[in-house]
Amino acid sequence: MDSIWTREKAAAAARETLSREQIVRGAMVLLDSEGLAGLSMRKLAARLDAGATSLYWHVHTKDDLIDLVIDEIYAEIDVPEPELAGWRAGVTLFAHSLRATVLRHAWLPEVLYSRPRLGPNAMSVGSRAIVLFGAAGFTGRGVDYAMGAVMSYVIGSASSEVSVRTTIAKTGKTMEDWAREISELTQTAADDRAPGGQAYWTSGTDVDTIQTEAFAFGLDSLLDGLQIRVSQ
């Protein structure tokens, strides 16, 4: 697979005052507001008040641009040193930071696993995460498996949240309006076969808090399992 990270940097200097950093930040704003389908070099050039050819001096293709933005986003993820937080607290912080990052960039799950993560920020996050899971006692492939399990849970959970939020946003309703409608429907439909659903949506807790608590519960359960496994 071709990647901007495995190719040599262009020898020719850019002729424009526009920098690669400006292009990447502009692309991130465009992706966050319009998603992958809304990103084009021409549209980005218009947003940056530059000619499309100016962008090509720094970024040759749209795929290169996406790779650069993804790596910029990796810089937002916090992976603490195990000596400072301990492995479990460190993994918990890492997981919550990754979740928050995905929620900020709703388009990210679509490309996170389909693009090579070879940029400096991605490599740094991966290396620090390996140290963190190694500190838990995992060795060899166990480090990759444990880290993969946590990342799959985080990205899967956050992707589900993103899907719900995106669908609701298209209706013009707020999360609170949606939750209220769900609560009313649940109360109407609830019977002896589904008492839990009614309690869940009539607890008076706001949706963001419920989702965060549900995420934390699942994460703690996963880490409980990993802790037992590594101690065997």
Q: Are residues 69 and 178 in the same domain?
A: no
CA angle 196, 106, 27 (to 5 degrees): 170
- Encode pLDDT of 41-56 as tens digits: 889 988 888 876 778 7
- Encode pLDDT of 162-216 as tens digits: 888 887 777 777 777 777 776 677 666 655 555 555 555 555 557 788 889 999 9
Q: Are residues 141 and 176 in the same domain?
A: yes
Write out the residue range of the structural domain in which residue 109 sits: 82-231
Q: Are residues 108 and 36 in the same domain?
A: no
- Encode pLDDT of 103-133 as tens digits: 999 999 889 888 878 899 999 999 999 999 9
How far is CA 189 from its chain centroid? 35
**Helical ranges in the chain per DSSP H:** 20-34, 41-47, 52-56, 62-74, 82-85, 87-104, 120-135, 141-171, 175-189, 195-201, 207-231
Q: Are residues 137 and 70 in the same domain?
A: no
The mean pLDDT value for 29-33 works out to 94
- Encode pLDDT of 196-205 as tens digits: 555 555 555 5
With contact defined as beta carbons under 8 Å apart, do 131 and 183 qualify? no
Tell me which of 56, 74, 92 is where a domain ends. Answer: 74
> What pLDDT does 14 receive?
43
Tell me which of 74, 90, 121 is where a domain ends. Answer: 74
CA distance 53 to 62: 13
Q: Are residues 106 and 51 in the same domain?
A: no
Q: How many residues does the structure list for the chain?
A: 232
Tell me which of 21, 42, 74 is where a domain ends. Answer: 74
Q: Are residues 111 and 56 in the same domain?
A: no
CA distances from 45 to 27, 48, 162 (A): 9, 5, 28
pTM for the whole thing? 0.81
Q: Are residues 215 and 153 in the same domain?
A: yes
With contact defined as beta carbons under 8 Å apart, do 38 and 31 qualify? yes
